[in-house]
Homo-oligomer: A and B are copies of this chain.
Amino acid sequence: MLKEERQAFIMKQINLHNKVLSTDISAMLSISEDTVRRDLKEMAEEGKVLKVHGGAIGRSFHYPFDEGNSVYAQAAKKQIAEKTLKLLKNDMVILTGGGTTMIELAKAIPVHLRATFFTISPLVALQLVEHPNLTVITIGGQLSRSSHIHIGASVINQLAEIKVDLCLLGANGFSIQDGMTESDWEVVQVKRAMLRASKKMAILSIAEKLNSSQRMKVCDLNQINYLITELEPDNHFLDAYQHLDLELF
């Protein structure tokens, strides 16, 4: 068997599965692992594949972190932000959580919107305050190292004293069975308090997070009024959410 044939075969496997194991190729083509390794080495030197211990992975195999410092799935989050704008009206009082999606929303808000924003996220607050017609109020408290939002009893207390028109939250886990879920107990408490402080609740989440669950429950889906993803509302991926008592965007 010719070398080029072999390498073409390997390439095909990589394109198909994004990776190959040296042992598998060896078995499939009945050649020694050495030969496979030599092939992979050659292909790696030509930049066709990325050799790793045990085999190789395709060059197209993008690590989720290859984007460096940029935000994961930022395009989708920008889309979500755009859709969310439809919910925002002048003179509304709005409460927001934190997270990268919310930051994108804060950036996307049109300059002419006149509204009051409460937020538990210092980053969102700083982004919002760049808009001339917004009143921005930070709900202060202990700043969580992991999520960069304010948590703790004082946050709960402050939230108990307000009632806003709309609450915008990112989701950590979101599924039909378990409702909205979180991995951090403190965050659960805060989100529940936010829920109580709001007339309407909107969840902003990339579709990838749907149908995933975390350890602790925040609320049932029937407490959610709007679900905003980057997908079209009639996308089949969202079928399971269609018949629920929530509006899809």
- Chain A: residues with CB nearer than 8 A to chain B? 2-5, 7-8, 11-12, 15-19, 21, 48, 50, 52-55, 57, 60-61, 63-65, 69, 71-73, 99-100, 103, 122-123, 125-126, 128-129, 132, 135-148, 150, 154, 158, 172-173, 183-184, 208-209, 212, 214
Do the beta carbons of A2 and B57 come within 8 Å of each other? Answer: yes
Q: Is the interface of A mostly helix, strand, loop or mixed?
A: mixed
Copies, count: 2
Do the beta carbons of A103 and B61 come within 8 Å of each other? Answer: yes
A-B residue pairs in contact (CB < 8 Å), sample of 18: A2-B52, A2-B55, A3-B52, A4-B61, A5-B19, A15-B64, A16-B72, A17-B173, A17-B214, A19-B184, A52-B145, A60-B100, A122-B122, A122-B125, A129-B143, A129-B144, A129-B145, A138-B142
Q: For residue A105, give the distance in angstroms from its CB to the closest CB of chain B.
A: 14
Q: For residue A203, give the distance in angstroms from its CB to the closest CB of chain B.
A: 15
Do the beta carbons of A57 and B136 come within 8 Å of each other? Answer: no
Q: A5-B19, A139-B140, A214-B17 are in contact. Are A146 and B52 (CB under 8 A)?
A: yes
Q: For residue A119, give the distance in angstroms from its CB to the closest CB of chain B.
A: 9
* Given A4-B50, A4-B57, 16 new contacts (CB under 8 A): A2-B19, A2-B53, A4-B63, A11-B63, A11-B64, A18-B99, A18-B146, A19-B147, A57-B146, A60-B72, A64-B123, A122-B138, A128-B143, A129-B145, A137-B141, A137-B154
